[in-house]
C-alpha cells in the first residue's frame, strides 16, 4: 500500500512538473506571437545594436518598475504640463534626444519653435498690440511714430509690467497650473488652442519675424536630431513694414529662401516641404478658391509643395465627405493627400467616419487617426494599403482626447503593426520641443516593457519611408541617417 502511494505521489509530481513546463512554453509562445506583430519586431540588430538595446531596455525597465511600485513616480501617466521638467531628467529621454529620429511629418507652420522663443519674439522693436473688450490679444508691427490706435508693447510693459507679462504669456500658450480645471472639455481646449493662432498671426506674419521663426524652427528640429520636415501651412500670408502684403506663392518663395540658407549653414539637413492645409470649418464655401491656391503654389514650387490637407477641429468642421467631388481636381494638380481624420472621441459620428473617407480617397498618411482602433476592419485596410498614421500623443492629451498616455489608442495600433510615424503637431503652444517629448511618451507609456531599440529604429525609418522624399532625396536622407545612427549606437554604448 505504501509503495502504491509513493508511486502515485511521484506520478503526480511528474505530471505537475511537465504540465507546468508545457504551460510556460505555451505562454512564451503566445507572448512571442504577440510581439512579432509589433512595429520593428522583424528588424535584425547588429552586435553593437544588441549591446545598445540591452542598455536601453534595462534603463526603460528600471524607470517603469519605479513607476509600477509608485505610480506618482511614473511621468507618462500624468498631464504633460505637470511632467515636462520631470521628463528632462529621465535617462531614456536623454537617449531619445540623441537618437536620430529622421523626419517630422506632422507639424504646423506657426507652432514650430520652443515656447520660450515664441515669447521672446514679443520683445521685437515696433511691435504693437490691440486688446479687445473680451480680452483677445492681437499683434501688429508698425513703423516708428506711426499714428495708430494700437498700443506699443514696450509701453504696455512699462505701464503694468507684472500683470501684463502674465496676461501676455497666457495668450501664447495652453500651459496652465491646473489644466483639467482650465479645460474641462475638448471644446474648451480647442477654443483656447485656436485663440493662440489668432493671437500670434500678426506677430509671426511680419516678414522679418516670419523668416527668423521658420529658421529657428528648422534649427530646433535639427538640434533634436531631426533632419527633414513636412510642414502643414495654412493661410499663406506675410507683410512688411512698408505695407506690402505677400500671399500664396510669394510666401512659399520666402520659405524656399530660408530653407536654402539653412541648408547652406547646416549641410547635413535634408530639407523641408509643405502640405497646403486650409481650415475645414471655413473652406467649404470657397473650396474652389483654395484649390486654385494649391494649383498656383504647386506649379510655382512643385519640389516643395507636396500635398493637400484640411485642418481644424473635426467635431466642429465640415466632414471629408463634403469634399469628395473636389478631390479629383486636387489630385489632378499632383501631390499627395494627407488628411487629418478621426481626431475625436466620438464613435459613429461624421468626425469618426472621416477615417473611411480618408482611406477611400487614398490618403498617403492620416493625421492623428485617434479613433481608428474602433474600426478593426478599417485597421486591416489601412495596413493593406500601407497608409501611415501620424500619431501626436501630447497634442491628443493637451486637447483633452486622452488623459493617461498608457490609454492612448495608438498603443493598440503599434502593437498590431499599423504603420506609424510620430509627430509633435503644435509644440510651441504646450512647451514641447522638437520630437523627443512625443517619442518619449510613446516609448515609455504606449509600448510594452519588453519593447526596445528595434521599435525606436523602425519609427525613425518609418518617418523617412512614409515621407514624400523622391528617390534621390531618399537616398541622401537614408545615407545621412545611417551615419547619425551609427554615431548614436556608439554614444549609447560608451555613455551608459
Catalytic residue among 314, 343, 400, 433: 343
Strands 271-276 and 305-308: parallel
Strands 336-341 and 365-368: parallel
- Any idea which residue has 536630431 for its cell? 225
- In sign, the C-alpha dihedral spanning 59, 67, 77, 111 is negative
**343 has catalytic annotation:** yes
**368 has catalytic annotation:** yes
Q: Give the span between the Cα atoms of 49 and 339, in whole angstroms.
A: 36
Catalytic residue among 106, 368, 375, 437: 368
> Which residues are part of the catalytic machinery?
343, 368
Amino acid at each position: 500500500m505504501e509503495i502504491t502511494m509513493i508511486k502515485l505521489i511521484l506520478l503526480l509530481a511528474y505530471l505537475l512538473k511537465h504540465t507546468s513546463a508545457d504551460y510556460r512554453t505555451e505562454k512564451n509562445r503566445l507572448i512571442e506571437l504577440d510581439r512579432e506583430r509589433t512595429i520593428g519586431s522583424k528588424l535584425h540588430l547588429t552586435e553593437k545594436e544588441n549591446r545598445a538595446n540591452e542598455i536601453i531596455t534595462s534603463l526603460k525597465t528600471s524607470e517603469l518598475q519605479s513607476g509600477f511600485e509608485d505610480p506618482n513616480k511614473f511621468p507618462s501617466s500624468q498631464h504633460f504640463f505637470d511632467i515636462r521638467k520631470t521628463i528632462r531628467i529621465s535617462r531614456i529621454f536623454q537617449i531619445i534626444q540623441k537618437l536620430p529620429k529622421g523626419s517630422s511629418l506632422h507639424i504646423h507652420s506657426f507652432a514650430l519653435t520652443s515656447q520660450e522663443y515664441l515669447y521672446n519674439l514679443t520683445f521685437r522693436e515696433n511691435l504693437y498690440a490691440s486688446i479687445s473688450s473680451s480680452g483677445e490679444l492681437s499683434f501688429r508691427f508698425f513703423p516708428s511714430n506711426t499714428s495708430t490706435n494700437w498700443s506699443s508693447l514696450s509701453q504696455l510693459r512699462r505701464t503694468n509690467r507684472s500683470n501684463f507679462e502674465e496676461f501676455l504669456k497666457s495668450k501664447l500658450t495652453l500651459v496652465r497650473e491646473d489644466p483639467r480645471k482650465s479645460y474641462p472639455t475638448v471644446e474648451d481646449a480647442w477654443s483656447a488652442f485656436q485663440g493662440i493662432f489668432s493671437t500670434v498671426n500678426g506677430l509671426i506674419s511680419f516678414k522679418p519675424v516670419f523668416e527668423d521663426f521658420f529658421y529657428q524652427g528648422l534649427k530646433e528640429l535639427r538640434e533634436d536630431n531631426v533632419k527633414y520636415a513636412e510642414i502643414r501651412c495654412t493661410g499663406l500670408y506675410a507683410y512688411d513694414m512698408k505695407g506690402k502684403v505677400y500671399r500664396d506663392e510669394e510666401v512659399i518663395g520666402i520659405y524656399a529662401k530660408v530653407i536654402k540658407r539653412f541648408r547652406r549653414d547646416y549641410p547635413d539637413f535634408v530639407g523641408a516641404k509643405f502640405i497646403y492645409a486650409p481650415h475645414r470649418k471655413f473652406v467649404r464655401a470657397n473650396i474652389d478658391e483654395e484649390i486654385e491656391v494649391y494649383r498656383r503654389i504647386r506649379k510655382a514650387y512643385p519640389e516643395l509643395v507636396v500635398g493637400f490637407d484640411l485642418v481644424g477641429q473635426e467635431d466642429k468642421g465640415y466632414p471629408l465627405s463634403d469634399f469628395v467631388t473636389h478631390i479629383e481636381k486636387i489630385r489632378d494638380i499632383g501631390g499627395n493627400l494627407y488628411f487629418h481624420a478621426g481626431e475625436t472621441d466620438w464613435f459613429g459620428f461624421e468626425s469618426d467616419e472621416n477615417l473611411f473617407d480618408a482611406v477611400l480617397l487614398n490618403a498617403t498618411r492620416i493625421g492623428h487617426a485617434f479613433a481608428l482602433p474602433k474600426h478593426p476592419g478599417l485597421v486591416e485596410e489601412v495596413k493593406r494599403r500601407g497608409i501611415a498614421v501620424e500619431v501626436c500623443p501630447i497634442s491628443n492629451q493637451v486637447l483633452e482626447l486622452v488623459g493617461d498616455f498608457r490609454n492612448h489608442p495608438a498603443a493598440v495600433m503599434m502593437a498590431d503593426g499599423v504603420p506609424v510615424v510620430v509627430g509633435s503637431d503644435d509644440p510651441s503652444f504646450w512647451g514641447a520641443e522638437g520630437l523627443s517629448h512625443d517619442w518619449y511618451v510613446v516609448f515609455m507609456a504606449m509600448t510594452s516593457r519588453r519593447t526596445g531599440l528595434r521599435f525606436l529604429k523602425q519609427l525613425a525609418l518609418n518617418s523617412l519611408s512614409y515621407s514624400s522624399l523622391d528617390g534621390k532625396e531618399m537616398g541622401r536622407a537614408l545615407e545621412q541617417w545611417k551615419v547619425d545612427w551609427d554615431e548614436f549606437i556608439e554614444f549609447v554604448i560608451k555613455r551608459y
